[in-house]
Amino acid sequence: MTITTPSTAGAARVELAIGGMTCASCAARVEKKLNRMDGVEATVNYATEKAEIVYGAGIAVADLIATVEATGYTATPPAPARVADDADAQTAGAGDAGDELRPLRERLITSVVLAVPVIALAMVPALQFEYWQWLSLTLAAPVVVHGAWPFHRAAWKNARHGAATMDTLISLGTSAAFLWSLWALFFGTAGMPGMRHGFELTVARGDGAGNIYLEAAAGVTAFILAGRYFEARSKRRAGAALKALLELGAKEVTVLRAGRETLIRTEDLAVGDRFVVRPGEKIATDGTVVEGTSAVDASMLTGESVPLEVGPGDAVTGATINAGGRLVVEAGRVGADTQLARMARLVEDAQNGKAAAQRLADRVSAVFVPVVIALALGTLGAWLAAGAGWTAAFTAAVAVLIIACPCALGLATPTALLVGTGRGAQLGILIKGPEVLETTRGVDTIVLDKTGTVTTGRMTLLAVHTADGEDEHEVLRLAGALEHASEHPIARAVATGAATAVGALPVPRDFAGVPGLGVRGVVDGHAVLVGRRKLLAEQAIGLPAALESALAEAEALGRTAVTVAWDGAARAVLEVADAVKPTSAEAVRRLRALGLTPILLTGDNETVARAVAAEVGIDEVIAEVMPEDKVDVVKRLQAEGRSVAMVGDGVNDAAALAQADLGLAMGTGTDAAIEAGDLTLVRGDLRTAADAIRLSRKTLATIKSNLFWAFAYNVAALPLAAAGLLNPMIAGAAMAFSSVFVVGNSLRLRRYTPAH
């Protein structure tokens, strides 16, 4: 069933899955056809293979599907996403993904195994035995017919609609090489016993009836299939961000019904149901606390580094983690209405809205293919007009088509991407695909999420201010011992810092938590209080002037101030905050050196954000931004004419990462953020973001130079082919030399060294 949603007045919106597209020009053609319909606005994304369509009254979804099918492609409503259970996840991981690539992988393996001996026989005269050409035909035929079938099918489809793409060039070149070889073998002299491809590098008019080009047909097919396989493997992950977001939520929930606790699936939860959330569990859905108090860790969802204290009447969000006591929550929103589901829709909308990256080879071939075809026909006509025979005319014309299909073109992108991504993996940089590289050159603004990206993402004890005459070691020993018994994230920060500084901590007695204020207990005979200032005020304990000043200064910097008292006197103020990573300031300097303007974006409050920005050298700050608003911030910057890169690590960053022109996900973050990003920074060091952009730009430059030379060698040989002066050795040498050059040029990326 197709589900449409209202858009503007009198309009509806539908999403269709488009099948059969082989390149970016296919997506452009489908989009053009749809937009020609009255009242239709369509965006077709080649990467996600989806069409987002807004259509007016009088148009049915069936009409849209019929238009796509008339263009030569398939269109179906995509299956609705849902939270998969473990069994589903295992089935999907082992089945669908593998089955999707299996035909292409099998086609590639078959083509490579058969093509290698064909190329070796043609290029190494010592291997050419008496009937080697017939063995080459036997091996090359399955490659050209079966291996190259996707290219032939796409070329025919494109031809029916008056279009020419890389598939057209591949199909024409391989078919011309193979068919001419068949003619030369059966009707020419190439099939005679003892025929050889020699090493004479002479430019002379030869007899085309004695030449075969089976190595060109088989080699080009194998090389291009390899590139398509790696591309398909990358594209398979296009929807992983949505799956990661949906799987973030709790799968089961304990509901209270008739006074009893019952375990049910989260998707069966209804509005008004009351459910239990124990310490460490995820909150199943958006709702309101009706019983209990606790600290809720929402950093993965909202970016807020400080845990949120909640009690009866406070709202909580699904997928956040209960870090403290037992809560009873009344469900307020379920299913598609929850904040998590809305964020999943934002990610999907952002992915669908991104302009499809036009393949460099397709852009060139859009002009190159028609020119080559026209040149081949012109060559045929010119030779016939000059009075030459049909054999000489067809020899020259077919030679033009053969030399115009360089095997180096199949190596240009895959080899540079393979070497570049391999070097990146060594440096902790994962590049998802060649289309990512195109955006790195034009990026001029980089938006940095604060929590977990610029900062460590966890609460840390940063400073200890003691009252006159107090020993810092003793303060940490007593406060750390008491906080060690608490599950609160701030308490854990104090306990960890204390244990690091003083070693083993004593065990407290009579420990008790004071909801929303702190903890109390007895440590080594001292009655100790650790928590908010109000906790001390309730015991009529005031702060000395020095501690008052330290507390005010900490709060001015946006840090959490924790007071410590024992035996009726205030002893210290501890500063706890999300610490800035030691490499962040240097990373910001390197990003500026690349011509990028850094912006700090966070859900934290303005004071905290400004303090962090000042510490790392960022001038522009956008704070107190809700997760769904981060996408709007990126869109606003793009509307100002900026090309935006985004660095983030949390679920709250996933939609913005997908919307940005270039998304860089910290590998220390959530799966949703990593899958939504274009580049993954495995090490969690922000300096790697600068390295990733530099490496991507170098890889893109290498791909462009590879493509240039892949075309240049063969374009240079086109006049020789048109003049009938092309012999097999020159063709083979040009092809081999261009391939060696492309591979050697790509291997230079292995020497890339980060600035640090």
CB 436 within 8 A of CB 421: no
Q: Which residue would you say has higher pLDDT here, 206 or 548?
A: 548
Output the six-digit token pair for 374. 């026209």
Q: What are phi and psi of 461, to 5 degrees?
A: -75, 115
Residues 541-566: tens digit of each pLDDT: 889 999 999 998 888 877 889 999 99
Region 305-326: mean pLDDT is 80
Residue among 648, 645, 751 nearest 698 (CA): 751
- C-alpha–C-alpha distance, residues 455 and 668, integer Å: 12
- C-alpha–C-alpha distance, residues 50 and 78, integer Å: 8
β-pairing verdict for 445-449 and 644-648? parallel
For residue 695, pLDDT over 70 is answered with: yes
Residue 143 confidence (pLDDT): 95
CB 645 within 8 A of CB 445: yes
- Which pLDDT band, with edges at 50, 70 and 90, does 204 fall under? very low
Residue among 618, 710, 320 nearest 310 (CA): 320
154 to each of 161, 166, 529, 561, how far by Cα in Å? 11, 10, 75, 66
Q: Report CA Rg, the chain.
A: 33
Q: Which residue would you say has higher pLDDT here, 723 or 464?
A: 464
Q: Which residue would you say has higher pLDDT here, 600 or 708?
A: 600
Q: What are phi and psi of 405, to 5 degrees?
A: -110, 80
Identify the helix (H) or strand (E) that includes residue 381. Answer: helix 360-385
Residue 290 confidence (pLDDT): 92
- C-alpha–C-alpha distance, residues 366 and 368, integer Å: 6
Q: Which residue would you say has higher pLDDT here, 207 or 45?
A: 45
CB 615 within 8 A of CB 588: no
- C-alpha–C-alpha distance, residues 312 and 724, integer Å: 88
Q: Which residue would you say has higher pLDDT here, 3 or 171?
A: 171
Region 218-237: mean pLDDT is 70
Residue 288 confidence (pLDDT): 92
Region 664-672: mean pLDDT is 64
For residue 294, pLDDT over 80 is answered with: yes
Of 7-21, 25-39, 55-69, 214-228, the one with minimum mean pLDDT is: 7-21
- C-alpha–C-alpha distance, residues 108 and 101, integer Å: 11
Output the six-digit token pair for 439. 């955006």
Residues 138-156: tens digit of each pLDDT: 999 999 999 999 889 888 8
At 334, the amino acid letter reads V
β-pairing verdict for 620-622 and 597-601? parallel
Residues 582-615: tens digit of each pLDDT: 889 999 999 999 999 999 998 777 888 888 899 8
Region 530-544: mean pLDDT is 89
- Which pLDDT band, with edges at 50, 70 and 90, does 2 fall under? very low
Residues in the chain: 756
**Three-state secondary structure string covering 642-705:** CCEEEEECCHHHHHHHHHCCEEEEECCCCHHHHHHCCEEECCCCCHHHHHHHHHHHHHHHHHHH
Task: Please tell me what DSSP assigns to residue 454.
Answer: I
Q: Work out whether the CA dihedral 213, 217, 219, 220 comes out positive or negative.
A: positive
At 689, the amino acid letter reads A
Quote the mean pLDDT of the chain: 78
**Three-state secondary structure string covering 74-88:** EEECCCCCCCCCHHH
- Which pLDDT band, with edges at 50, 70 and 90, does 671 fall under? low
Q: What are phi and psi of 362, to 5 degrees?
A: -65, -40
Of 87-101, 123-137, 185-199, 370-384, the one with minimum mean pLDDT is: 87-101
∠242-244-246 over CA atoms, to 5°? Answer: 70
The percent of residues above 70 in pLDDT, for the chain, comes to 77
Q: What is the dihedral of CA 255, 338, 340, 251, to 10 degrees?
A: 20
CB 603 within 8 A of CB 625: yes
For residue 700, pLDDT over 50 is answered with: yes
Give catalytic residue positions: 449
- Which pLDDT band, with edges at 50, 70 and 90, does 232 fall under? low
- Which pLDDT band, with edges at 50, 70 and 90, does 447 fall under? very high
Residue 64 confidence (pLDDT): 92
Of 48-52, 207-211, 599-603, the one with minimum mean pLDDT is: 207-211
Residue 328 confidence (pLDDT): 92
Residue 728 confidence (pLDDT): 46
- C-alpha–C-alpha distance, residues 64 and 506, integer Å: 72
Helices (H) and strands (E) counted in the chain, each on its own, are 26, 27
- C-alpha–C-alpha distance, residues 83 and 150, integer Å: 35
For residue 171, pLDDT over 60 is answered with: yes
Residue 209 confidence (pLDDT): 64
Identify the helix (H) or strand (E) that includes residue 431. Answer: strand 429-431
Q: What is the dihedral of CA 604, 607, 613, 618, to 10 degrees?
A: 100
Strand order across the 321-322 sheet = 308-310, 294-297, 321-322
- C-alpha–C-alpha distance, residues 567 and 373, integer Å: 94
